[in-house]
Amino acid sequence: MSANLQTPIDYLKGVGPNRADLLRSELGIQTYQDLINLFPNRYIDRTRYYKIDELQQNNAEVQVIGRITGFREVAQKRGKRLVADFRDDTGVMELVWFRGQKWIRDSLKTGQTYVIFGKTNWFNGKFSMPHPDMELQSEHESNLRSAMQAIYPSTEKLSNKGITNRVTTKIMQQLFLETKGRFIETLPDSLLAELKLLSKSEALFNIHFPKNPELLARAQFRLKFEELFYIQLQLIIKNLIHKSKIKGFTFDKVGDYFNTFYKEHLPFDLTNAQKRVLKEIRQDLGSNAQMNRLLQGDVGSGKTIVAFMSMLMGLDNGFQCCLMAPTAILSVQHYQGLSELCKPLGISISLLTGSTKTSDRKIIHENLENGDLQILIGTHALLEDKVKFKNLGLAIIDEQHRFGVAQRSKLWHKNTLPPNILVMTATPIPRTLAMSVYGDLDISVIDELPAGRKPIKTVHRYDSNRLKVFKFIRDEIALGRQVYIVYPLIQESEKMDYKDLMDGYESVAREFPMPDYQISIVHGKMKPADKDFEMERFVKGETQIMVATTVIEVGVNVPNASVMIIESAERFGLSQLHQLRGRVGRGAEQSYCILMTGHKLSQDSKTRLETMVRSSDGFEIAEVDLKLRGPGDIMGTQQSGVLNLRIADIVKDKDILQQARYYAKNILKVDPSLALPENKAILHTYRQMSKYRNIWNYIS
């Protein structure tokens, strides 16, 4: 190849040190490689030239051929603007510049023929074009260009410093001249042939200088496929390495604990989905590789019983197990639920949180180290260095997105061998996202609810119906049920939120006066002990109404609560609404979720509310959420880096993603170490990837 793509951008003809600094700081372009991967945002069809008398008042981008016949300066509020008369044989229009006037006066000449391009404005009976792209007709005709013109990502600073789209296009042309447009192929011939893909060089040329719309579409497909293919390849290889290198504890038998529980103490029949997932976990635990599995299941789908039965497999093989939850309330609930299941089997189980007494801690630490304690439930407190197990065989993590990677790896180091890991989440992750972000974990899904669970009825009501809603609450409380009323909490406006919550609490207290009604209130400003006290009263049924901010989102289990009212529901994201709704519907009674809003709603808010009313399927809701918010938001900051995609879009290109994963899997199935001659291109690219962390930095 003529030019090395790792050459710093400073050395490209026409760039120089100043432009190079700007390209680095504004767009992160360090090398030729980064520039070639600066893909256009959109394209403009420049095959057509308009006459001035054909222009329409539609603010569109057009190109016109004509001559400048004169300049003038016009005073305005701040400074002055430069105006030129531009004429062709059908009429005259104005060109306007608000900045860079001296340079423009010096570089543009009257009487010469120019091709101008830009957005037109109609003002005072005349068309004008602010800051047009201009080039001499003679240059315009000799340039390397295509009918479809690429528009590149830019920033205000770049345009202010004169790096316009035209300049970017020129630099890009220079790059193609220096490299002679030849780029190393990254995909094997068999794949190019089977999928009828453009070659790497053709795809790159046609993404920057497309000859026609059809070639542009083929170039985009080729580059999207390649990007997603290599992400999947990396994740699948990571998983394979994990399985071959990281040995786990093998649970080779299913013994008395599991069998006795299954035959004599199982509180209800397992659903087919639960049975399927248990089988998948059983296979993992029986292999000699460390289990690394993500268990997804909607709120109330019965993940906990699957987790407990997985622990029983651990105990049957002489290992200890632990379950870590993100909050004290949640870990107490897990502890209470699991203690009941452990009693008839004579299993020793303890709870460890930040508020466990020192004397109790000592006993727990001792029993863990000598192996008397079989199951430990707790919060982050499990990660403390003092907590040492005799032989931890299985660690279960609930609501994984609340724990960082560093915290997970602490659990690993509690042993000589890392324990088997099962991660549980009630936040359904759309398939496409799970394949990309958790592609290195094996995924199990519980996709059916236990029998006898009634679907929650969800309705949307406006603030003007509030009195009817209050009457409905009274009727439900009269039947012995309990009610949540939740207010949004958005960090930026905490004062306002606190005021909303307090106003809301007062109006509820007026409608439901003591002593007939008791109300709990829980919000972020309270001390943890006060919060726990209020929660406890509601759990015991001493209060009928719980007014709260979103602190109750995760894991509070009150089977008797049958109504969830979400105030200002338009201020919540879809996944939050779905999580909140999952706090009711845990008993046998019909449950309700009422979404309260004002009348002014954005289109997105309407979509969210309609989705909630229509569907109770967490996976469908997650797909809609992904379309509305994009992948970065859903994964939260710590994960979104994985999806820093250059050209593919996880939502729009999910079919390409599935195709890419399919081919990556098949190639690795036949040739796990990519040693076959036909996979030479893949191996080379994969090695380059490992060298330059950013995925695209090698794919050329």
Q: Which of 186-190, 202-206, 230-234 has the lowest mean pLDDT?
A: 230-234
Give how far the C-alpha of residue 387 lies from the chain's centroid of Cα atoms, to the nearest Å: 34
User: Hey, what CATH class is 256-286+301-425 in?
Assistant: alpha beta
Read off the pLDDT of residues 101-149 as tens digits, 9 standing for 90 and up. 888 888 898 999 999 988 898 888 889 999 998 889 888 877 656 567 8
DSSP state at residue 197:
P
Query: Would you state the pLDDT for residue 287?
Result: 86
Sign of the CA dihedral 377, 303, 258, 264?
positive
From CA 239, how far away is CA 435, in angstroms rounded?
12
Query: Would you state the pLDDT for residue 86?
Result: 96
Query: Would you state the pLDDT for residue 212?
Result: 80
Residues of the chain with CATH 3.40.50.300: 256-286+301-425, 457-615
Residue 347, number of CB atoms within 10 A of its CB: 20
Mean pLDDT, residues 596-616: 91
Q: Which residue has the higher pLDDT, 551 or 541?
A: 541
Pick the CATH number of 47-144 from 1.10.10.10, 2.40.50.140, 3.40.50.920, 3.20.20.70: 2.40.50.140
Mean pLDDT, residues 408-421: 76
In three-state secondary structure terms, 135 is strand
Q: Give me the residue label for tokens 């407190």.
A: 381
Strands 80-88 and 61-75: antiparallel
Confidence of residue 194 (pLDDT cuts 50, 70, 90): very high
From CA 332, how far away is CA 347, in angstroms rounded?
17
Distances in Å between the alpha carbon of 449 and those of 275, 279, 552?
13, 18, 22
Q: Which of 151-155, 256-260, 639-643, 688-692 has the lowest mean pLDDT?
A: 639-643
Query: Would you state the pLDDT for residue 447?
Result: 81
Q: Give me the residue label for tokens 């863990």.
A: 368
Residues of the chain with CATH 2.40.50.140: 47-144
Q: Which of 160-169, 467-476, 544-553 has the lowest mean pLDDT?
A: 544-553
Confidence of residue 327 (pLDDT cuts 50, 70, 90): confident
> pTM here?
0.65
Superfamily of the domain at 457-615: P-loop containing nucleotide triphosphate hydrolases (3.40.50.300)
Rounded (10°) angle between helices 680-691 and 213-245: 80
Query: Would you state the pLDDT for residue 401?
Result: 56
Mean pLDDT, residues 91-107: 90
Residue 254, number of CB atoms within 10 A of its CB: 17
Question: What is the separation, in whole angstroms, between the first and last Cα of the chain?
Answer: 11
Phi then psi for 305, rounded to 5 degrees?
-70, -35
Read off the pLDDT of residues 488-498 as tens digits, 9 standing for 90 and up. 865 545 666 66
Query: Would you state the pLDDT for residue 39?
Result: 94
